[in-house]
Amino acid sequence: MSASTRVDFYILEKHENRGRYTLACRITDKAYRSGNKVFLHLNNMENAKMLDDLLWTFSQSSFIPHHFCQDSCEEDSPVVIGTFPPNSDDIDVFISIADEPVAEFARYPRIVEIIGPSDEEKTLGRIHYKYYKAHGIEPYVHKIES
């Protein structure tokens, strides 16, 4: 249940072009290289497609096999991008760049919330943080300078 779910907030301190998405790629790369199955959750298809493209190009030295799902998806790829939570229960790391907290957080061992530096993004981050706290989880916070 929730006691075994770890929630990490990565808070970007500086405005950078596609900063949240680039950070999502870096975290995805690390999780994938550690043998984890990753799901990247986004608000809409435009953002999901942008992240899909960025995963191919963000680093010259990495290759992250991934699949882009336009609807609910049961893809067996090690990394899946979508706007709907996965049907699969074998996700190890759920990375969210969405406006809503992960409602079924107890299904996943690890949740990563990526928060941007704007006031609006920080406000959403606070809402997400309070949501997890209200459900008995003490989130970890990491401030990212670059």
pLDDT tens-place string over residues 72-88: 565 678 999 988 888 77
pLDDT at 3 over 60: no
pTM higher than 0.85, yes or no? Answer: yes
Contacts 24+ apart (CB under 8 A), 26-29: 26/58, 27/93, 27/95, 27/112, 27/114, 28/55, 28/64, 28/66, 28/79, 28/93, 28/95, 29/59, 29/62, 29/64
pLDDT tens-place string over residues 15-25: 776 789 999 99
Given CATH 3.40.50.300, say whether it is the number of domain 2-111+122-144.
no
CA angle 122, 134, 39 (to 5 degrees): 65
